[in-house]
Structure formats: C-alpha cells, structure tokens
C-alpha cells in the first residue's frame, strides 16, 4: 500500500549536503469585470514570476516563469490560482521545465486551483523534463464549482533525447486530487522510484515509451464530449492515445516514444478540443 506524505519525507535529505535552494511562490486571482477577465491579485516571491501578455478576447492568458532556470536538489515551488465567478483564464509556461539531477533531496512543486461558479480555468504548462537522477514530487489540488470548467494538461519526459539519456535512477511522484463542490471526483497518484528507465520498459508501465501526458477535463458536459475526443485523437507515428469519461469528467492519456511524437499528437487535439489556439508561448 502506498501512503502519501507531503511534503515528501525522505531520510536521504538529512544526509545530503545542505545548500541554498530556490523557493518560489505565485498567488494569482482573476475576476470577470463587465464581460472581460482581469487580474485582481498577483503575489510573487523567490524565483517564481507571473507575466500577462497583451491579448485579445474576453479571457486572460498568463505565463508562469521560473527565473531559477530549472528545478534541482530540494527546490520548493508553490502556485495558487483562483478564477472567480464568470472569469476565464489560461495558465501556461514559456518552455519545458527542467528537473536536474539530485544527490538526495527531493524537489517539491505544489499547485492549487480554485474555480468558482461559471468560471473556466485551463492549466496548460509545457512539458516537464527529468534528467537522470532527478527527484521530484509534485502535487496538484483543484476545487471547482458544479457549473465551472477545468481543463488540465501535463506532460512529462524521462531523459534528454538529444543525449540519448536514460534515467538509471530517480524519483518522480505525481499526485492529483480534484474536488467538485464537496466531493472528491478524481484521485490519481503516479510514483516511479529507482531504475525508472527499466520500469518504463515494462509493458504494464510504459512499454518502452519515454514521454507521457494526461488531459483531464471537468465540466457539466464533459462526458458528452467523449465521442468528439476520440474522433480527434490520432494514434500511431510513435504516440498512442485513448480517452474515457465518467463521473462528470473526461480523461485522455498520451504515451509516446519521444516528446516530438507526443506534441505532434497533443497540439492538434488541444486545438480542436478547446476550440481556440494554444497560448503563443507554446508555439514560440
């Protein structure tokens, strides 16, 4: 049985050399003002920053920036996003987030999303890239109202393809908890610890793939969009994908041999599913 502990408790942290680590936090809330979404609160500390490019339309795009240039050796980051009643916001990142090797300490990333009545929040960071011996525990908690809409997309790549890198040893823990009103409607925990490259070769784990992504959509009409999602998923060319729907949500899994194959399948799907272009940082 797996028991989650947060923050991650690892005895190796007490034996590794003590270094000054990056600690960052962003807290951001948006509200609907006369039909347009506007920022109401922006709090930044440490190496985390939030930028709001000039855009068109009633919704708002925001970009999370980690000025530390990556994550390593016990760094800790916290992101808190709130979409108030009727607001529409998309959160992205400017590039892949690199997670460097660690000599023991586990880095932590905690994301909290709060989506109020009739609001829409799209969480669309670009992929997380784990180096050999990286150690990362991340947590995403979301609370949404019954008539709100939430779309999450997270991708992870194990090892640098350009260097033919395999993760001989490392830790990746990914914990999602989604609450709709007072009810827990989605709980998922992935934990890979030890020889990750060998684990991913197992047919029941990754069947040799090294890039994975999950899309989760929660809304009043989520289950009704299952046929549409399946029609726009393309498997093959190094990426397999499948969709399912239950309990007022829709989930899509991507499993690819490379990040290029994953993006080739995921980007057209995201465009069709959302009915609008991806944030410009995805295409720059």
Q: Does residue 14 belong to any structural domain of this protein?
A: no
d(CA 248, CA 193): 32
| 226-240 per-position pLDDT tens digit | 999 999 998 888 999
Residue 154 lies in a domain: yes
In-domain check, residue 274: yes
Counting the structural domains of the chain, the total is 1
pLDDT digits (tens, 9 = 90+) for 19-65: 667 899 999 999 999 999 999 999 999 999 999 987 766 789 999 99
Closest CA to 37 of 120, 151, 117: 120
| Statement: residue 138 has pLDDT above 90 | yes
- Does residue 245 sit within a domain? yes
Q: What pLDDT score does 165 carry?
A: 81
Answer yes or no: is 9 within a domain: no
Asked if the structure places residue 10 within a domain, the reply is no
3-state secondary structure of 124: strand
Structural domain range at position 78: 22-282
Domain-embedded: residue 29: yes
User: Tens of pLDDT along 56-107?
Assistant: 667 899 999 999 889 998 899 999 999 999 999 999 999 999 999 998 899 9
Contacts by 246-249, CB closer than 8 A, 24 or more apart: 247/185, 247/186, 248/180, 248/185, 248/218, 248/219, 248/220, 248/222, 248/223, 249/178, 249/185, 249/186, 249/216, 249/217, 249/218, 249/222, 249/223
In a domain, 4, yes or no: no
Q: Is the pLDDT of residue 6 over 50?
A: no
């Amino acid at each position: 049985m797996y028991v989650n502990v947060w923050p991650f408790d690892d005895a190796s942290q007490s034996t590794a050399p003590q270094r000054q680590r990056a600690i960052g936090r962003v807290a951001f809330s948006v509200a609907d003002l006369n039909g347009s979404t506007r920022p109401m609160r922006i709090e930044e500390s440490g190496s985390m920053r939030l930028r709001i490019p000039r855009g068109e339309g009633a919704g708002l795009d925001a970009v999370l920036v980690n000025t530390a240039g990556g994550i390593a050796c016990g760094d800790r980051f916290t992101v808190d996003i709130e979409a108030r009643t009727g607001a529409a916001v998309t959160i992205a990142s400017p590039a892949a987030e690199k997670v460097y090797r660690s000599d023991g300490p586990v880095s932590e990333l905690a994301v909290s999303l709060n989506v109020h009545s009739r609001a829409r929040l799209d969480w669309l960071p670009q992929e997380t890239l784990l180096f050999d011996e990286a150690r990362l525990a991340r947590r995403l908690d979301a609370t949404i109202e019954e008539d709100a809409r939430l779309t999450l997309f997270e991708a992870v790549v194990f090892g640098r393809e350009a260097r033919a890198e395999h993760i001989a040893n490392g830790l990746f823990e990914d914990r999602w908890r989604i609450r709709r009103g007072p009810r827990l409607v989605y709980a998922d925990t992935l934990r890979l610890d030890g020889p990750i490259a060998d684990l991913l070769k197992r047919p029941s784990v990754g069947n040799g793939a090294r890039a994975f992504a999950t899309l989760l959509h929660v809304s009043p009409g989520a289950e009704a969009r299952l046929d549409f999602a399946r029609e726009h998923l393309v498997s093959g060319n190094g990426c397999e994908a499948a969709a399912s729907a239950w309990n007022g949500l829709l989930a899509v899994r991507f499993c690819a041999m490379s990040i290029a194959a994953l993006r080739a399948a995921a980007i057209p799907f995201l465009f069709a599913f959302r009915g609008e272009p991806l944030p410009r940082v995805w295409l720059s």
